[in-house]
Each structure stands twice: as structure tokens, then as C-alpha cells.
Amino acid sequence: MANLSKQKEAMVGYFRAGCKPEGQLTVGLEVEHFLTHTDGAPAAFEEVQAAMLALQQSGDVPLVQDGETVGLRSSGYVLTLEPAAQLEISITPQKSVGALMAVYEAFAARLRRALAPLGLRAWNLGYHPTRRAAALPLIPKKRYEVMDRYLQKRGRHGTQMMRGTASTQISVDYFSEQDFVRKFRVACLIAPLLALLTDNAPVYEGERNRTASVRTMVWNDVDPDRCGIPPMLMDEDFGFAAYADHVLQKPLIVARHGPRTEGVGRKSAFEVYPSALQKDEIEQILSMFFFDVRLKNYIEIRVADSMPAPFIAGYAELIKAIFSSPAAQESILRHYAGATVSAIEAAKLGICCHGYQAQVYGRPVADEIAWLMAQAKSRFSTPGARCRLEPLAALAARKTTLREELPL
């Protein structure tokens, strides 16, 4: 097991290097978009690729894999094409949500202008608005081809996850290992509430959707090795080493050796890579795990559906308020003291089955979301933050969701 020990040491070193200096929290944002023709027909890979290239500005660097341009790196963000040609923007972390949204809204305006001549439109939804997932082809990227074959044998919804879903992901800093543990546990505990609060999938598999948090339902049955809540979350020794140990010994599916992508099936990273892990290998390994909350050199909260900009802004303010305040985090940990990984998974299932009528951790979910909102609002330092939260807060007050309220 000498190799595993060296690999753990390298990965823990990577996590420690991700600790930011104590100070103002920065927040990153990733938003996925579906692109279709105006009649709802899905845009082909070549059309989405052309739209992305139409967004290229001076200084932008194309990202090429397997001989195809699948992304662009700009000074303030990265664009990538996801498995079924979802277009994702990943924005460099910012100190304020206002700055984050300025980047996103400028991009969204440019995207609309680029799509119009191509007869295309973008959708901010949690699930594809017009088609069943199986009808959506994968883009020509070997990583996705290998993942697709593997995941179809692991759960019932791998096809839907890869082709049919789109998310809003928020990343936050951690300042130390202790700070990471506290924030990671808090994020996992509130994940079921965040999933309901951001539910925005009015269509599922081409039909009107009546199920709450259908993206959560999909992700719950993809692959137990790499999805859901990390099983060691509440262990006494949970930390960087425990997270590294877990991901290094689970099936990796895909490995990269320089520019070459290789399918490795159920071999673990420990079996695939040599004893000394390089940074790019560590990042490849971490990218193959899709927990509701994921550790890289930041904490990534992955449970929200793709949403229109005003609701993204409110969600980002909610996350920033909670994760900027150790007092808010400690309050959440006390509030849910004794909750287990099984309790979190039960809360997710309850929300999928019952929406705002669900019970989570033995309490009505509507009350818990109202309590979480109050935790955030009490820690806002600017009127702008409260204003940006309002559209999302209004939904919660009405005990309803974007899925139920927004017309397509």
C-alpha cells in the first residue's frame, strides 16, 4: 500500500494548498444552458460549437480535446461543452455576488446576440425542455463516451444525468482543514433544502413534470460510488485525508495520460496511476466524482438547477451569506445535530416525493427553508444583497418553485 500512501499525501497536499488566507470569502459560479432551435429541436454539436466560437474574443484560448474545440478560456471565465452539448460558463471567483453577476449577465447578453443569427436560443432549466434524454447524442469527446457506457451499468439514470440535466453550481473558499470540514458538512446538511428551493425542471423526458427536484431524483440513481453524500461525512476523522482515501480507492472510469484519454472501468486511481500523482492527475481524479458537494481546491455545491439570472443572483447571495459566517454555520450544525448521511439521503427522497409538503430531519421542509432564509438575511451587510435574494425568498414564502411558476 506504499503507492496509496504516497498518493494520499499528494492529494492532501493539493487540498492544503487550496486553503485561502483568512479573509473575505470569494464565490465562484458555473451555469449550464441547453441550446435549441426556436422550434425546440436540439442544437447539433456543430451548431453549439459554432455558437461558442462566435463568442470568442481577442485573447481567448480555444480548449481542444480529442481533436475538437470543446471550450474557450477567457480572462474572467471558461466556456465548456458538456456531454450532450450543454454550454457551461465557469466564472472566476469574485468577492461579491454583484461582480459575479456582472460577468454572467454580460456573457448572457453576448450569448443571445450570438445565437440569434443561428436561429438558436438558450434555456436556463434543470432538465431538457423538449426531448427525452436518449434522443440527445453525446458530443465527440472520449471521456463522455466511456462514462456513458460505464454509468448505464451502474444505475437507471446515467443517460438522463449526462444528456438531460443542467445545473447552477456555486463554489466557496475554505481557509483551513477545520474550516473545510465545517463548511462541507453544512453544505451537505442543507443540500436537500437548496435542491427544492432551486427546483426548475418543468419538463422531464419531453412531458410536463409534476415531480419536485427531478434532478435530485436522477442523480440519486446514477452511481453510488461517486454521487450523493460522501459516506464518511460525519465520521470523527473526516477531513482531507479521509476524502482522498475514499476517491483514490473507488472506480475511476476515465484516466488521462497527457493528451490521451483512457477508459479504465472499475480500476481505481490507486491502480491506474504511478505512486507520484501530479497536479493534473489529481484534478482528473477529483473531476470523476459528482457528490452533491464536492471538494477540489474549493468547495463546490452542486444541487441547484440551472435558473434565470435573477434567481441565480439570489441563490448566490444565500450561499455567500451562510458560508461567510462561521456563526451561521455553527447554528446550522447545532440545528441539525445528530443528523446522519442516511438522514440527509432520506430528506432528499422526501423532497422528491412530496416537495413543500415533505418532512426533513423530522420537521416541515417549508419551516426549514424559512429558517435558512432567516439565517442568511440576518447576516446581509448590504441592501443590494437583500434585494438580490428577494425573488428566491418570495418563492419560498409562497411555498412554490420555479418549476411550478415560470412559463416555458
Report pLDDT digits (tens) over 323-361. Answer: 999 999 999 999 999 999 999 999 999 999 999 999 999
* Residue 1 pLDDT greater than 60, yes or no: no
Report pLDDT digits (tens) over 88-100. Answer: 999 999 999 999 9
Interior angle at CA 37, CA 33 and CA 43, nearest 5: 60
- CA dist 355 to 5, 140, 367, 400, Å? 44, 37, 13, 9
SS3 state of residue 221: coil
Which cell goes with 308? 434565470
Quote the CA–CA distance of 101 and 142 in Å, as a whole number: 33
The pLDDT confidence band at residue 270, using thresholds 50, 70 and 90, is confident
Report pLDDT digits (tens) over 121-164. Answer: 999 999 999 999 999 999 999 999 999 999 999 999 999 999 99
Quote the CA–CA distance of 220 and 201 in Å, as a whole number: 16
pLDDT at residue 66, rounded to an integer: 83
Kindly state the average pLDDT of the residues 229-238.
98
Higher pLDDT, 66 or 297: 297
Helix, strand, coil share (%) of the chain residues, nearest 5: 45, 20, 30
**With a threshold of 0.85, does the pTM exceed it?**
yes
SS3 state of residue 269: helix
Average pLDDT, the chain: 96
pLDDT at residue 20, rounded to an integer: 96
Kindly state the average pLDDT of the residues 278-293.
96
* Residue 2 pLDDT greater than 70, yes or no: no
Quote the CA–CA distance of 356 and 365 in Å, as a whole number: 6
Q: Are 375 and 328 in contact (CB under 8 A)?
A: yes
SS3 state of residue 250: coil
Could you write out the DSSP letters of every residue in 32-86? EEEEEETTSPBPPHHHHHHHHHHT--TT-EEEEETTEEEEEE-SSEEEEE-TTS-
Report pLDDT digits (tens) over 302-331. Answer: 999 999 999 999 999 999 999 999 999 999
pLDDT at residue 67, rounded to an integer: 87
* DSSP code of residue 117: G
List the beta bridge partners of residue 257.
260
Kindly state the average pLDDT of the residues 34-62.
95
